[in-house]
Chain A
Amino acid sequence: MTMNNKTRGDYFLGLCLIILIFLLYRSGFFTVEAWQNFVDHFYQNFIEKDRYMMLVKGLRSTIFMTLFATLIGVAVGIILSVIRVAHAGGIHIPVLNALADCYIAVLRGTPAMVQLLIWNFTIFASARDLNKMYIAILAFGLNSGAYVAEIFRGGIEAIDRGQMEAARSLGLSYGKSMRLVILPQAIRNVVPMLFNEFIVLLKETSVAGYIGIDDLTRAGQNIQALTMEHSQPLIMVAIIYLLIVMFLSYLVRRLEKYLSRSRRG
């Protein structure tokens, strides 16, 4: 009997479904009490007194934080990578290069959460009227900058050396060749990776609760403290993160396809 991939997939899907239903049935999942219990808890955790709004607001600050941190990260990353590439490419700026090296080593070599705590409790210790959100954006953004710098360096180094040589032989200065010839191509190469950095940051900001920002994770914990239920708020938070990340990954894939197509043409 021959079976093409599609029908095999269908059978497999059906089989999984049957096994799932059977297991759930055996574990008492379909009893009225279990279902009622689930619905009651769900109501208590998310519907009653509009508690879902806590999650919505948490999600809003998570996305706000991630977005601006990524922007800072990209800006810092481009500057750092250009300094390092230029140094390697013959434009010697020893002090700046050493600083960039040091920056990347320190910020990549320490956990983001430790950095966040240091920013909040040591560096900005006396800044009481400063919104904590800005501190978090700064901490995550500068941290991300170190990673983005490496991404960009990879992107720039992936451009054929001949491009730079050709631009220079046409009489463009190093800065101009970099800005007009190399960087536009490098940026196109690394855009998908930048989206990935956004995804990484989205998950990394879940430690912002440590300095008292009510991000998505912390919102889930706040609901836990209110309803004293452990699993449901946490699993809901996980599902929200997962959905966002899956959606973004889908966008990245589309983007990669689009970019590779336009290059061919």
Chain B
Amino acid sequence: MKKFLLFVLILCAAGGLYYYLDCKNKAPEQIPEPKLSSIEQLKDQKLAAQRGTVGQMIAEDLLGGRSEELLTTFEKYVDAVSALRQKKIRAIIMDEQPAKRFVKEIEGLAIMKQELANESYAIGFKKGNTDLVNKVNAALNEIKSDGTLDKIFDKYYNGDLKQINPDEIDFNLNADGGKLVVGTEAGFAPYELKVGDSYIGVDIEMCAAIAKKLNMSLVIENMNFDALPMAVNSGKVDMICAGFTVTEDRKKNMDFSENYVVNAKHVALVRADDYEQ
């Protein structure tokens, strides 16, 4: 027991020492590089993006031949934001809505005004699964025209995520039309987020509405973003709905529904003290 206490204490002492030295080392300010003011400056800076996203492609284009050296890809956005706050990277290339949420919830972050790209989100299907694409498109058009989709957007873009109760989302579990298995990466608020045992988000509620129209029960499969194309093409999931941007490259390997979000901007998330408008 005493040995254990000793061990823990030494560990704590080492941790305390590290923490102390860390605080001390912070004092001398580095010679300030010119603060960021335009997207052009990002061309030779350390950038980050989530693996497999359009943000990664944009960053690669931006950095050109130096992307191997300067671009870090992360599995989860939280990791990328931590790296940004620890000054390991200068900017994260990501979608506007999630970036807005980070700015709202974490102090000291800012979004660069200039946008990087303007794209659309759609639901992805296995190549050749035309039957399901048509059915989902029909359902999507219905919820677009009866205003359901706009209500969902309003709820998530303007409301407080913390107030949303996941139990209110109807996954239509008693439907007799079989299962609609949807793959997603639930770390991408406001589009998808895991709360307790369940999920909330624009994509989740939209899929729930679609499942209802198709008389199917909705099953959410939560996985890493870069595993999603693999999952839909192997048949693990019927479709993927994860703020998935339509690109020409992706169209070669996948079928897409009609767009449900247009004007999905990609922006650069930076530290507020590093940004001059």
Taking beta carbons and an 8 Å cutoff, which residues of A are in contact with B? 9, 12-13, 16-17, 19-20, 23-24, 26-29, 49-51, 53-54, 57, 117, 120-122, 125-126, 128-129, 209-212, 214, 221-222, 224-226, 228-230
Contact present for A13 and B6 (CB under 8 Å): yes
Q: Min CB distance, A6 to chain B, in Å?
A: 8
Contact present for A221 and B20 (CB under 8 Å): no
Q: Which residues from chain A contact B5 at a C-beta distance below 8 Å?
A: 13
Given known A27-B16, A27-B20, A228-B102, contact A9–B236 (CB-CB < 8 A): no
Q: What's the count of A-B pairs with C-beta under 8 Å?
A: 103
Decide yes or no whether B224 CB sits under 8 A from chain A.
yes
CB closest residue in chain A, given B77: A225
Q: Min CB distance, A9 to chain B, in Å?
A: 6
A53's partner among B105, B196, B222 (CB-CB below 8 A) is B196
Contact present for B9 and A20 (CB under 8 Å): yes
Decide yes or no whether B117 CB sits under 8 A from chain A.
no
Q: Which residues from chain A contact B223 at a C-beta distance below 8 Å?
A: 210-212
Most buried by B among A23, A49, A117: A23
Top 6 A-B pairs, shortest CB-CB distance: A125-B234, A225-B187, A23-B16, A212-B223, A230-B82, A16-B9
Q: Which residues from chain B contact A224 at a C-beta distance below 8 Å?
A: 76, 78, 187
Q: A23-B16, A51-B196 are in contact. List 16 more A-B contacts (CB 8 A).
A: A13-B2, A17-B9, A23-B17, A24-B16, A117-B227, A129-B179, A210-B224, A211-B223, A212-B221, A222-B194, A224-B76, A225-B187, A225-B193, A225-B194, A226-B195, A228-B106
Decide yes or no whether B136 CB sits under 8 A from chain A.
no
> Which residues from 39 to 90 on chain B have a C-beta closer than 8 Å to any C-beta of chain A?
76-79, 81-82
Decide yes or no whether B211 CB sits under 8 A from chain A.
no
Contact present for A128 and B236 (CB under 8 Å): yes
Decide yes or no whether B23 CB sits under 8 A from chain A.
yes
Given known A221-B187, A222-B194, contact A121–B16 (CB-CB < 8 A): no
Decide yes or no whether B152 CB sits under 8 A from chain A.
no
Contact present for B10 and A16 (CB under 8 Å): yes
Q: Which residues from chain B contact A24 at a C-beta distance below 8 Å?
A: 16, 19
A27's partner among B19, B102, B194, B197 (CB-CB below 8 A) is B19
Decide yes or no whether B175 CB sits under 8 A from chain A.
no
B76's partner among A54, A117, A212, A221 (CB-CB below 8 A) is A221
Decide yes or no whether B235 CB sits under 8 A from chain A.
yes
Q: Which residues from chain A contact B19 at a C-beta distance below 8 Å?
A: 23-24, 27, 29
Decide yes or no whether B132 CB sits under 8 A from chain A.
no
Mask: chain B, 221-250; 1 = CB below 8 Å from A; 0 = not:
111100100110011110000000000000
Q: Which residues from chain B contact A53 at a C-beta distance below 8 Å?
A: 196
CB closest residue in chain B, given A10: B2
CB closest residue in chain A, given B23: A27
Contact present for A226 and B194 (CB under 8 Å): yes
Q: Min CB distance, B256 to chain A, in Å?
A: 21
Q: Which residues from chain B contact A20 at a C-beta distance below 8 Å?
A: 9, 12-13, 16
> How far, in whole Å, are A29 and B12 apart by their CA atoms in the complex?
13
Contact present for A9 and B106 (CB under 8 Å): no
22 residue pairs from A and B, CB less than 8 Å apart: A9-B6, A13-B5, A13-B9, A16-B10, A16-B12, A17-B9, A20-B16, A28-B23, A121-B231, A125-B235, A125-B236, A126-B235, A126-B236, A128-B237, A211-B223, A212-B222, A212-B223, A222-B186, A222-B187, A224-B187, A228-B105, A230-B81
